[in-house]
Structure 1
């Protein structure tokens, strides 16, 4: 029981460090305990560090040791998604879903992580309707998850469902005000506001006052 609690504490510490961008600390934590869950978390951390090469190597090591594990296939799908192999990622996630059903864990087969993974793979394939279907299922489970909302915004915009996209955009700004997408939208709004304010206060062009703007050189 103590070992289980210790592993959970280390996993939580590594996840928290990665979320805060302290990747060196996160990698230090995951290296303390040799568990499959820690190895998969390491893959995610390496991907956050933009070290797809190291993440690929780690995913291969996991697959060599635990090829039939759904966590192994999840790690492979994460790498494939980030590396731009959406078809392979989608197939791996399908394997994860099937394994969860076989192991009598249907709740894992319909988890928001798995559903968002399938949605992202479909987005990369530009299969917007399929992506929206999975993203909506994820939203039913985690309506305040930032990644779920971003996937919904992306799908709705590309499907011309602009009212729905606006709704999810407002919700994202409400539940995750520090999300990178929200911060970027605020920057863009500020730029346009400053531009419009400058245009409104600028004097009319010379031509409007009856003066030639430029003389012909002929």
Structure 2
């Protein structure tokens, strides 16, 4: 029996998922939570095999923050991120936070059950479209590894790169580094030119690979 904890801010979604998962004789929803902090407390108490964690929960702790904190408290817990965002940036941030997998809310019911079963066994799970993009980007990164220009970045540019990849806005970066927003934008433009990158998801992937976020792939 796979014990499951649901963490989602929508009661209707939790109710629907509970009915669906409990219809599987090999699965049991042992608890629910409406935001990240509550989810962490419930997980510590109930010791579920899998936590199905919503990514976006505006009231309380969000899914990524809760995942990161919960993995520190319970390293062996398996967390499956449930999201409506089919975006590389969210995928890499979920992996960096310690999630065992990521699945779209629009996925078929049988795919959700397969994902839960997979992560409960300690395996990783990514929805098919994400797996394809991840492989394409990985193969592309191999091609460009010999031309890595990280050594061209200044210390300040490396600091900005790390903070950008962690999801901080320009204003927040400026406050942390005690510089102006305009200076942050200049550093950001310079480092993206040196690394030959154009988007934030590219920076997130690059930072993860370089181990700048504490997690490498």
Larger radius of gyration: 1
Structure with more of its chain in helix, by fraction: 1
TM-score bracket, normalised by the shorter chain, equals under 0.3
Bigger relative contact order, structure 1 or 2 (CA pairs below 8 A, ≥6 apart): 2
Q: Give the TM-score of the pair, scaled to structure 2.
A: 0.26
